[in-house]
Amino acid sequence: MTDTNVATLRRPQRADARRNFDSVLAAARTVFGEQGIDASLEEVARRAAVGIGTLYRNFPTRQDLIEAVYVDEIEQLGARAVELADREPWEALSLWLRQFVSYASTKKALAEGLNQDSALLRSCREIMYSAGGGLMDRAQAENVVRGDTSLDDVMRLVIGITNVGYTSDDQRERVLQMALDGIRPR
């Protein structure tokens, strides 16, 4: 799935095989989100509309599938930072942080299934910090984010927000907005 130092999915070259690979990833994301990482892999295959052999051909172990789902999400966060680079600095950073909150709030169980000291997870952190770092640097250069904070401070703040239960998405958004207001210059 990945090389030992860099979090990168190796998708199949053939279009039909790539579709199956992506279907399994999407189904696993949904099933793991609903049922946790111990969910039935047969259920993942069923929802992906592929045979269990296709699932195992692409992801020989449950751990391979968990890691692939996680890496795919991280790659999407990285790609989102690139997409937002042309926006105004504050808008780009706050939109990316909102996507990060949405991602993190639904991936806690998935992240718990990973070896926290693995090269893969370190690589994923580097991707996230690199993606957010460019947005943060631009926002600070334009003086729309406090100069006495770092991306690490902001990520810890945002991760803290994702570890709390909310009565609704609106409540989570209000709390996130209060945190974002706190990183703006006075």
Please report, rounded to a whole number, the percentage of residues in the chain having pLDDT higher than 70: 88
Provide the residue type at 130 as one letter: S
What contacts 186, CB < 8 A, 6 or more positions away? none
In a domain, 152, yes or no: yes
* pLDDT for residue 4: 41
Alpha carbons 42 and 9: distance in angstroms, whole number: 22
Residue 112 pLDDT class (50, 70, 90 cuts): low
In a domain, 9, yes or no: no
In a domain, 20, yes or no: yes
In a domain, 1, yes or no: no
Long-range contacts of 73-80 (CB under 8 A, 24+ apart): 73/29, 73/103, 73/107, 73/110, 74/7, 74/124, 74/127, 74/128, 75/7, 75/8, 75/9, 75/127, 76/103, 77/103, 77/127, 77/128, 77/131, 78/127, 78/128, 78/130, 78/131, 80/131
Residue 120 has pLDDT above 80, yes or no: no
Of 64, 138, 55, 61, nearest in space to 95 by CA: 138
Mean pLDDT, the chain, rounded, equals 86
Please report, rounded to a whole number, the percentage of residues in the chain having pLDDT higher than 90: 50
In a domain, 89, yes or no: yes
* pLDDT for residue 73: 85
In a domain, 5, yes or no: no
In a domain, 98, yes or no: yes
Q: In this predicted model, what pLDDT tens digit does every residue of 90-108 receive, in sequence order?
A: 999 999 999 888 777 656 6
Residue 116 has pLDDT above 90, yes or no: no
- 129-136 average pLDDT score: 92
In sign, the C-alpha dihedral spanning 14, 1, 126, 163 is: positive
**Number of domains making up the chain:** 1
- 30-52 average pLDDT score: 92
DSSP string for 116-164: TTSHHHHHHHHHHHHHHHHHHHHHHHTTSS-TT--HHHHHHHHHHHHTS
The pTM for the full model equals 0.78
Question: Of 120 and 181, which is predicted with more confidence?
Answer: 181
> What CATH number is given to the structural domain containing 135?
1.10.357.10
Q: In this predicted model, what pLDDT tens digit does every residue of 51-87 receive, in sequence order?
A: 999 999 999 999 889 888 888 888 888 999 999 999 9
In a domain, 4, yes or no: no
* pLDDT for residue 5: 41
Residues of the domain holding 125: 15-182
